[in-house]
Structure 1
Amino acid sequence: MTKPPRKRNKATSTASSDDTPPDNLTQEENPATATITVTAVEVSELTEQEISDRLHLERKVERAFFEAGKALAELRDRKLYRSTHKTFEEYCKQRFGYTRIAASYKIAAATVMDNLLTNGLQKEEIATDELQTPKMLTNGLQILPNNERQVRPLASLEPEVQREAWQKAVEEAGGKVPSGRIVKDVVQRIMERTKIPNTYQLGEVCQILVKDNPELRGKGGCWGIVSQANEFSCTVRMWDGEYAIGLQHLKSYNYLPAECQQMQVICDRIAKIYFDSLEETARSLLQLLGKLNRPWLTAVEEKLLSVLESEYSGIF
């Protein structure tokens, strides 16, 4: 019986053909026969001292934003910029390239971080050795933020709620440091849970309540006029600009409509002549008028404001 002819294996034939380099290609130039040399990288264990140094340096990197915020707060509070700059805002912009808002964010982040570090306890009760990781004595709060974006959303919450929100964010991140997005989502849900209806009206005059909000430092007791009512905050116009302020930091004076209009006129008059470059006495007087707890000016206040208007109006 005649055997059928064997089928030729095309794949094998092709491979064999491809494996044969052309006449003008040497063995060294042929990729199919090239030798790849892999250099093994030796991994050496760290000594105990190196481990300690690494942890120490990592902690410095993680806490850099915290230290920056604390330093800015001290520079501001002690007015250590006064020998070269008239205002803290001017100093931050020229020395660090920070806007007022950027500096406020860093200070606010440091305040939140400080709250998380102490966990409601006295600082003396916390391990202060720089080489050690800060340990929390209650609630097991040991995972800490390592950048400003992670703590910025927490600034809108009360201190006790900040700790609750951070722990929840850590849980959602699987026990690791959560991203800023996770923290923001947690804060949003908490605010929805404790949502307070915004009953403020446009033109309403409100008192500013600081309540441990570093962004409002220096504004405690001042009055402002609502220019926009948002879901969780109001945009409030003051003598030196507009600010977005949370509802928990506002308290209505309950003025009559006519009284609110009078305060609007006073606000406009102050705003036209208030600049950081004003002489200190003039600036201080206008700031005092910005803390009036009545909807009118006394005769003396009216005269003083008129003098400042005649002196500075149109100059800046």
Structure 2
Amino acid sequence: MPKPPSRTNKATSAAKSDSKPPVNSANEDISVEENLATATITVTAIEIPELTEEEQRDRLHLERRVERAFFEAGKALAELRDRRLYRSSHRTFEEYCRDRFGHSRRQSYLLMDAAVIFDNLEQKCDRSDHILPTNEWQVRPLSKLDPDIQPEAWEQAVESANGKVPSHRIVKDVVQRIMERTQVPNTYQIGEVCQILAKDNPELRGKAGCWGIVNHVGEFSCTVKTWDGEYTVGLQHLKSFNYLPAECEQMRQICDRIRRLRKNESLEEAARAVLKHLGEVKRPYLTAFEGELLNFIEKKYLLQG
């Protein structure tokens, strides 16, 4: 019976042909290190040309445009609102800003407020280097101060930032120190008619410019009664109309009449809309026609004024 072919010789010969002298890894590492130590690295120097006078002017101009971007946006929004240029497509300015720019009501008004502050700083700051805000977030704390004090606060913040544009935190700290230094006693009186200044307080959204009656006086705040509720408001968010006592009493009576009518569950939507208008007027009095409307609603629902 024939034997199967042997594969031993083939495997052996293959192993021999593939075999190589052993490599000394230590010697190889030494050789690489020597090569690296003696290698020559060529560095090509690139000369960066200085800016020409025209380029320097262009750079400064473009930097100013970037810095003033939020200011220009706020100014444009204010003009759109004041001239009612949105009226052909939208019922209210807030709806227009939301649809056209994706802004919330708060965002649009913050930009407009910031533009007013920026303009004030640009006109009144004495610093020769004219360090000005570059975004709305930096100037927002300044809205708590009177316009006459804002430049002083901004210059202090710039100094704290070592001559650079200060951060929101630095400006806020400076504003807090100034407010603590200039804190005055609460001089409001119960029954006084005040205007609500919403500013950057989201809890007062929709109440900007509305009137209210002070019914509690605290150390740093007042509780104000309005046509639709009561609000605890910081002193920086109130402004007195300086009405005579008799005029304050007249407005208190109007406020109470509106609040009493609103409790009537059978009140129609049209009547509620009128009461809402009367409660949100941006002045502490009613016109003769508005007074007649209030009287009519009271007679309709059998209430006495």
Q: Secondary structure at the match of 1:224?
A: strand
* Structure 2 counterpart of 1:179: 167
Bigger Rg, which one: 2
Does 2:118 align with 1:108? no
The answer as to 2:117 corresponding to 1:117 is no
Q: Show structure 2 runs of 5+ residues with no match.
A: 1-23, 265-269
Counterpart code for 1:206? V
2:176 paired residue number: 188
Q: RMSD of aligned C-alpha atoms?
A: 4.8
**Match in the other structure for 2:132:** 144
Q: Deviation digits for residues 214-253 of structure 1, max 9, x if unmatched?
A: 9999955x41256997875557575689796643742276
Aligned to 1:46: 51
Summarize the Cα distance change of 1:161–1:290 in structure 2 as closer, same or farther, 3 Å threshold: closer
Q: How far 1:85 moved relative to its partner?
A: 1.2
Q: Where do 5+ consecutive residues of structure 1 fail to align?
A: 1-16, 120-135, 273-277, 310-316
Match of 1:250 in 2: 239
Match of 1:111, as an amino acid?
V
- Alignment map for 1:1-316 (pairs within 5 Å): 20-21=27-28, 40-119=45-124, 138=126, 140=128, 142-198=130-186, 206-208=193-195, 220=209, 222-225=210-213, 246-247=235-236, 249-251=238-240, 260=252, 263-264=255-256, 266-267=258-259, 286=278, 291-293=283-285, 300-305=292-297
Q: CA deviation at 1:173?
A: 1.6
Structure 1: how far apart are the matches of 2:28 and 2:300? Answer: 94
**Aligned partners of 1:194 and 1:154: how far apart in 2?**
14
Which structure shows the higher helix fraction? 2
Q: Which residue of 1 aligns with 2:267?
A: none
Does the residue aligned with 1:21 lie in a helix, a strand or coil? helix
- Quick check: 166-175 or 61-70, which moved more? 166-175
Paired-residue identity, %: 48
Q: TM-score, normalised by structure 1?
A: 0.62
For 2:192 and 2:238, locate their aligned partners in 1 and report how far apart those are by CA, in whole Å.
Answer: 13
For 2:237 and 2:213, the matched residues in 1 are separated by 16
- Residue 17 of structure 2 is matched in structure 1 by none
TM-score, with length taken from structure 2 = 0.64
| Cα 1:31/1:53, change in 2 over 3 Å | same
What is the DSSP-based 3-state SS (H/G/I as helix, E as strand, rest coil) of the residue aligned with 1:44? coil
CA deviations on 1:114-136 (whole Å, 9 max, x unpaired) are 011111xxxxxxxxxxxxxxxx6
Q: Secondary structure at the match of 2:148?
A: helix
